[in-house]
Amino acid sequence: MKNLKMIFLGAPGAGKGTQSDIVAEKYGIPTISTGVMIREAIKNNTEMGLAAKAYTEKGALVPDEVVIGIIGERLKKDDCQNGFILDGFPRTVPQAEALDKMGVDINCVVSLEVADEKIVERMSGRRVCAKCGASYHILYNPSNDGASCDKCGEALSIRKDDAPEVVLDRLNVYHNQTEPLKDFYGKKGVLVLVEGQEEVKDTTALTLSAIENAIK
């Protein structure tokens, strides 16, 4: 079996975080979160981290070329040699093209397909850990005590992004900016579509089966 170099696509609330954590654990590969990666690069004062800090200190978005540089630094670490999952990047076709130019050979892209109305329904139950980035849901994937993170013990919180009107705005952005990535990776022959189910375990079964078929 070839090394997994993966991206999960899907609208906000489709279950990307949950499924990527499960897949990462099964295959023993890291999930590379863009947000966490930028914070670590800044903390460690790497070349790209210092470049990112110049933007974050002004409250500005970190530009693509800096994010790409940070991803390049991160993917050189030993834990990525057997594969990885990129979380939160790319979000646009130009970002995906930049990954290609950097020589990042993505060989499996899973798109989780969930209807917009179901997304809005799901979001109000989502909880996140601000410390380590782990994600939960009060119905589909609760933490052991429902209030704190199983991984690090930090109290879980609801993001303001999960308000219904904000979710609808985010869905519009996804459809306009990120969904075109399905065509981009479809043409490369690495895209697999997975219909999101009510139960996490059912979505997981479909996801793992799709990945196994894609990387034979």
The single residue of 43, 131, 159, 188 carrying the catalytic annotation is 159
The single residue of 53, 91, 118, 182 carrying the catalytic annotation is 91
Cα 67 to Cα 51: distance, rounded to the nearest angstrom: 10
39 flagged as catalytic: no
- Cβ 18 vs Cβ 140: under 8 Å: yes
Q: What is the largest CA-CA distance in the chain?
A: 46
Cα 59 to Cα 53: distance, rounded to the nearest angstrom: 10
Give the DSSP H or E segment for 68: helix 64-75
Residues 6+ apart with CB under 8 A from 18: 135, 137, 140, 141, 200
The single residue of 39, 53, 118, 170 carrying the catalytic annotation is 170
Q: Which of 41, 97, 29 is nearest to 69 (CA)?
A: 41
The single residue of 16, 74, 122, 127 carrying the catalytic annotation is 16
91 flagged as catalytic: yes
Q: Give me the sign of the Cα torsion angle 5, 16, 159, 128.
A: negative
Can you tell me whether residue 11 is helix, strand or coil?
A: coil
Cα 137 to Cα 127: distance, rounded to the nearest angstrom: 6
Amino acid at 80: C
159 flagged as catalytic: yes
| Residues annotated as catalytic (active site), given as ranges | 16, 91, 126, 159, 170
